[in-house]
Amino acid sequence: MADGAHRRCVISGLGCVSAAGHGVAALWTKVRAGESAVKPLCLPRLEHQQVKTAAHFPGFDAASCLDKPLADSTDRFTQFALLAAAEAIGQAQAQAPLVFGDRMGVIIGSGIGGAVTSDDQHYKFYVAKTRTDPMTIPRVMPNAAASHISMRYGATGPCFAVSSACSSASQAIGLGLQMLRARLIDTCIVGGSEALLAPAFFRAWESLRVMTSTLCRPFSRNRNGMVLGEGAGVLVIEAEDACLARGAQPLALLAGYGTSSDAQDIVRPDAEGAARSMALALSDAGLEPHEVDYVNAHGTGTILNDSCESAALTKVFGPGLPGIAVSSTKPIHGHTLGAAGAIELIVAICALREQLAPPTINWLEADPSCIADPVPNAARPRSIAAALSNSFAFGGINACLAVTAYA
């Protein structure tokens, strides 16, 4: 029997909730067309709201999607995760039943956890002077999404949350991959969820002065910030032998994972750390830099992030970088923070399967400090056999995932 490092792991199901709507198809339709899902946003209890747009899911009614007791006892981020998980599990089971139980794990990342509940209950306590909901703690805890998914499907293997800001989902997926390789489990439900478009949290992001009041323009001259988003991305990943044994056909190979810490600054990114995570993912996947065809960049649209990531990409890919399609899809679905790595990996998988490099919309002109050609404004047909997805977080936590066509 091959050792754990050589146990191949595949992706068999994808699920998503985003500003584009419910489902992977809704997200990919927007991404492929280069159509932004960013919309006007007016939050209650937020006087003098400075930034007036976000990539949010308007009109979401949990009670119409989930059992009422479940909808009533969960935060928005958990509800998103449950819906995304249902889609991913449904796709994974379309060909043959999954095996639930103690050989299936659940790892769901979130940067904040139950932000909407937290904001509402603090307002009740400090301002309205009304009774705090007795389910507040079970709603806000970051592991709520993972626990509810585990309970709903009877996945009795390892179950936990990863909270590492914008790298949460990517690290959750990477840890799932490592547990599969170590033969601790055979299947894992992985991803991330975030729903923090609540008044106090939104004001806190405004105070950081990293959000744009106009349009998010990653890698472009005159870019001035990010746009917040909400949503969830969930994937079913399996050991290849387990997937094939149940008669299912993989969507792609989850080939590699790399993570690193800058150990430099709590908010300022470092190109060396970002480059190290990409190099580690390539090494883990057994890929040479020239074998990568597409990179879904972290690409937030902030001045520092984009120039830092560009320097990291140059360090890793050198003179071969112009031959690789690199783009950021955050202007379409927003920066979903703890969910970003999963949503963007789903985009990268769709790109690989459709052989199409997604666009970086809102791009105006090249900035000398950034990559020169981030697939500006329109998708391009592209032969893609291997792709990377980058996530770089506050706290200096970097994560990179590599996927390849299944063969």
> Considering 148, 298, 350, 370, which one is annotated as catalytic?
298
Find residue 393's DSSP bridge partners.
Answer: 397
Neighbours of 317 (CB within 10 A): 22
Q: Using an 8 Å Cβ cutoff, are 157 and 90 in contact?
A: no
DSSP for 10-77, please give it.
EEEEEEEEETTEESHHHHHHHHHHT----EE---TT-TT-S--EEB--TT--HHHHS-HHHHHTS-HH
Give the E-state strand segments of 104-186 in sequence order: 104-109, 159-162
Please indicate whether residue 159 is annotated as part of the active site: no
Question: Residue 220 corresponds to which tokens in the numbers above?
Answer: 């472009």
Neighbours of 241 (CB within 10 A): 14
Strands 294-296 and 386-393: parallel
Please indicate whether residue 335 is annotated as part of the active site: yes
Q: Going by C-beta distance under 8 Å and a sequence separation of 6 or more, which residues neighbour residue 397?
A: 164, 165, 167, 171, 259, 260, 261, 262
Rg, C-alpha atoms of the chain? 20
> Considering 159, 216, 335, 370, which one is annotated as catalytic?
335
Give the E-state strand segments of 138-277 in sequence order: 159-162, 187-194, 231-239, 252-261
Q: Going by C-beta distance under 8 Å and a sequence separation of 6 or more, which residues neighbour residue 152?
A: 82, 85
Question: Residue 258 corresponds to which tokens in the numbers above?
Answer: 């790399």
> Considering 9, 16, 159, 166, which one is annotated as catalytic?
166
Please indicate whether residue 188 is annotated as part of the active site: no
d(CA 57, CA 229): 9
Q: Going by C-beta distance under 8 Å and a sequence separation of 6 or more, which residues neighbour residue 89?
A: 13, 15, 98, 153, 189, 236
> Can you tell me whether residue 230 is helix, strand or coil?
coil
d(CA 84, CA 231): 9
Q: Using an 8 Å Cβ cutoff, are 18 and 60 in contact?
A: no
**Eight-class DSSP state of 337:** G
Which residues are known catalytic residues? 166, 298, 335
